Amino acid sequence: MSQVVLSIRDLHKIYAGGVHAVRGVSFDVHEGESVAIIGSSGSGKSTVLRCINRLIEPTEGAILLRDEQINTPSADVNEVRSRIGMVFQSFELFAHLKVLDNVTLGLRHVRGMSKEEANEVALEVLGRVDMLERVDAYPGNLSGGQKQRVAIARALAMKPEVILFDEPTSALDPELIGSVLQTIRGLADEGMTMVIVTHEINFARDVADRIVYMDHGQVAEEGPSSIVNEPKSDRLKKFLSSINEEH
């Protein structure tokens, strides 16, 4: 078995008002593995990702990156985020910056690269996501799918040890989803370590090495991607049935 890159241990998150969004979640992500987290809205999926990337702080539990706990007061949040890339459902691009500058920003200000070095890295990753022809475009002139591929390139440019995807297609029109899923599928084929929160069950089954099903803030079932074809728990069966009814 390959090395564990990311380890989540007994994670809890209680929001103000007493909402217990995450209840004792634990799982590991191995090097080169793609893990999909599925579940209904409000099941705690995105909260887990945001805890991993230190966007919010867990109430309890440990998050380890290559055996180093990263959710401690002494941990450097900027360093954590440079090692753990994140792609948001809302893209989070800077509207006043061209595509190339959106990708090079972190390389120059976090990695300390020169403009020439950063441009070289940015052009390489933009090529990987098929966006080289739009390097001089502003986000406002891109489709939603193109914006998301730029966001993926920006994460890749930092050469993270793991990339987190938070519902990367939920803000896209149906006809634009395919190109983004194809890009993520390509990263999985390259052996990129990824955690993907998604409502695209067929995509999760086809791309993920392992699936974590969350329900009411807990891991209700976990296993290889085949569990969506042969679920063991009644909760996962009910969830998959509801998804099929929607489609």
pLDDT digits (tens, 9 = 90+) for 123-150: 999 999 999 999 999 999 999 889 999 9
CA nearest 113: which of 124, 105, 125, 123?
105
In a domain, 227, yes or no: yes
In a domain, 58, yes or no: no
Take residue 159 and report the two structure tokens written for it. Answer: 């050469």
In a domain, 195, yes or no: yes
pLDDT for 1 equals 59
Amino acid letter, residue 148: Q
Are the C-beta atoms of 183 and 196 separated by less than 8 Å? no
Contact residues for 15 (Cβ-Cβ < 8 A; gap 6+) = 21
Are the C-beta atoms of 123 and 134 separated by less than 8 Å? no
Domains of the chain: total: 1
Look up the CATH number of the domain holding residue 106.
Answer: 3.40.50.300
In a domain, 80, yes or no: yes
CA nearest 185: which of 163, 212, 161, 203?
203
Q: What percent of the chain is modeled with pLDDT above 70?
A: 98
pLDDT tens digit sequence for 149-173: 999 999 999 999 999 999 888 877 8
In a domain, 3, yes or no: no
The reported pTM is: 0.92
Containing domain of residue 135, as a range?
A: 32-46+76-246
In a domain, 241, yes or no: yes
Instruction: Determine phi and psi for 65, rounding to 5 degrees.
Output: -115, 110
- The mean pLDDT of 213-236, rounded to a whole number, is 92
pLDDT for 90 equals 84
Instruction: Determine phi and psi for 166, rounding to 5 degrees.
Output: -105, 95
pLDDT for 177 equals 84
- The mean pLDDT of 204-214, rounded to a whole number, is 93
Band of pLDDT at residue 245, cut at 50, 70 and 90: low
Integer Cα distance of 233 and 217 in angstroms = 16
In a domain, 2, yes or no: no
In a domain, 141, yes or no: yes
Whether 247 shows a pLDDT value over 60: the answer reads no
